[in-house]
Structures are given as C-alpha cells and as structure tokens.
Amino acid sequence: MFKYLSHVPFDHLDMQGVLHHSRHLLHVEAAAHAFFLHLMEAERFDPSRYPDQCCVVHKLSIDYLEPLRGVGPIELHLCPLSMRACSMNTAFELRSCDGAHIYSRGQREICRVDLLTLRPCLWSESYASRLRRWLAGD
C-alpha cells in the first residue's frame, strides 16, 4: 500500500465546512501522481522522458462514507489491484491521519496512451516489471 499525506485547505470546504465532494478526487489525483513518480523513480512529471506517465482515467468510482469537516491533514492510501496490457486498476481511501475515519473510498482505472496519437498502448517493460513487483508485495 502506498500512503500519501495531503492537506485540506479552507477553499476546498463547502458552506457547511465539509470537504466538497469533487475535492476528494483532487486529493486522489495528487496521491496517484506521487505514486507514479515513486514507482518510476521519476524526478518530475514529464511524459516525454517517462512515457508511462501518459495516461487517461478510464473508470472512476467513489463512495462517500463520512463527511470530512474542517481544515487539516489527511492521508490517502493507494493499493494497485491489477495491471493489464495497457491499464491499471487502483483502490484508494481518503482517511484521517490516525486511521479512525475513512471519508471516501473507491477505484480508479487508468489507460496508458501514446503521447502523440493518444491511442492505448502497452506499458513499458520497465514500468510493468516494477508494478508486477509492487502487486506481488515485494
């Protein structure tokens, strides 16, 4: 499992002081970006240098379990579930840092695409082997 620490700022809250539903996904995307950089040992987001970073979200599901109230730190847990030739499915949870609350959970499936054509293409062998090791728990 990959853990990512994030922070809920005031402007992500709705009029009731609750994290707006759309903002959950911004935190998920930031965590997914950090996971990609970690897995690829990439210095930054640069699809021309790291072509496996060129992906689009294919499917996304989220269940909102409990309101997240107020400003403060949160933790995101990402767990890659599966990899296919050009896609990857990851489960996620947005939690309190102490683990006492799970605010939302879901799954995010991405598809690797060619940088020029934007058509689905295979993961590089380098990325696929790193992800296979991660999926195996190594």
Q: What is the pLDDT of residues 77-117, one digit of tens each?
A: 999 999 999 999 999 999 999 999 999 999 999 999 999 99
What is the model's pTM? Answer: 0.90
Query: pLDDT exceeding 90 applies to what percent of the chain?
Result: 79
> Which residue segments constitute the domains of the chain, with CATH numbers given?
2-136 (3.10.129.10)
CB neighbour class for 101 (10 Å; exposed up to 12, middle 13-18, buried from 19): middle
Which pLDDT belongs to residue 138? 58
Residue that wins the pLDDT comparison between 126 and 65 = 65
| Residue 27 tokens, joined | 């935190």
Which pLDDT belongs to residue 13? 94
Mean pLDDT for the stretch of residues 59-68:
97
